[in-house]
Amino acid sequence: MNFLLKKKTELSGKKATIYTVELTDGTDLFEQFLSENRGDYDDDLSDILQRIRSMATKTGAQVHFFKTKEGKPGDGVCALYDNPGKNLRLYCIRMGNAVVILGGGGPKKTQKLQQDPKLKEENYLLRKVSELITEKMVSKEICFSDDEMELKGEIIDHD
Amino acid sequence: MTKEKNNDILSDLLGKITPEEQAKTDKKMILATKIANGIKAKGLKKSEFAEIMGKVPSEISKWLSGTHNFTIDTLFDIERVLSIQLLDTNNWDYYDKYEKVKVSMKSRKPAPIYRLAS
């Protein structure tokens, strides 16, 4: 599995840098999430984008904004909290307060992740991405910038 | 859907967010962070704070998520328990003071008008 981490300039700010995952076939997981839920969940999408921008520009990606432990222990896979009464779930990889990698997600229709094939697929895909990022960090193919605000490496696209 | 169209969706959704909506979300996220910092500063675990507040820990998680709409009563309770200020109730008499200034300005004699002698 190969992928690029693309910096989203329009979502990033002085407190956090936001990346999305682009697979080799050109699929951007976050942009796919937006297009799949456009129309039915416009308000939720708007709310998610507002919260991402608040984190990027005001507060940093504080851990309490996320539902943690959505992946394997310690892999950073988490989900943004659903708005009260809403159930649109977005999976992310949180790397401290300053870096967030956005994945995909979808409407949460069942109590358990295992019962929802779509969410399970998105969740496991991001777990795999996280695993590969960890490997690349160990092998120093990816590292943090000196100010720890960004990621550096061959698979990072800062366009 | 093409990559270009997906990019358009992000731009379109971002373009529809008004500055007022963003400012409201910013404030909710900052408020949640102030509460989280207050819990930490008091040396409390989330579960301990929940117990003091008479809530279950999952309710506190919602409070800290930045999505919760707090009642004023709840905010006052949090302020008291954590000894922090979330709502600014200082300068509440600003309007009274402003009115007094206005009245005193009105009651002042108008400044004399000096004219140059022709």
Kindly report, residue by residue over A14-29, the tens digit of the pLDDT: 999 999 999 999 999 9
Q: Do B67 and A45 touch (CB under 8 A)?
A: no
Residue B66 lies in a domain: yes
Q: Which residue has the tokens 């697979």?
A: A23
Assigned domain for A71 exists: yes
Q: Is residue B117 part of a domain?
A: no
Chain B residues 45-84 with CB within 8 Å of chain A: 61-62, 64-69
Q: Is B60 contained in some domain?
A: yes
In-domain check, residue B113: no
* Chain A residues near residue B66 by CB distance under 8 angstroms: 51, 54, 65, 81
Q: Is the residue at B116 inside a domain?
A: no
- The structure tokens listed for A115 are 């019962």
- Expressed as residue numbers, the domain containing A87 is 3-150
pLDDT of residue A155: 82
Give chain A's mean pLDDT.
Answer: 92
Are A35 and B68 an interchain contact pair (Cβ–Cβ within 8 Å)? no
For chain A, percent of residues with pLDDT exceeding 90: 81
Which of A71, A72, A65, A135 is CA-nearest to residue A103? A71
In a domain, A23, yes or no: yes
Q: Please give the model's pTM, rounded to 2 decimal places.
A: 0.87
Residue A159 resides in a domain: no
Q: Which pLDDT tens digit goes with each residue over A81-140?
A: 877 677 899 999 999 999 999 999 999 887 777 788 999 999 999 999 999 999 999 999
CATH code, domain with B15? 1.10.260.40
Span B34-46, average pLDDT: 97
Residue numbers of the domain that contains B24 = 3-107
Q: Is residue A66 part of a domain?
A: yes
Tell me: ipTM over 0.85.
Answer: yes
* Separation in Å, CA of A115 to nearest CA in chain B: 22
- Per the structure, how many domains does chain B have? 1
Task: Output DSSP code: residue B36.
Answer: H
A155 domain-assigned: no
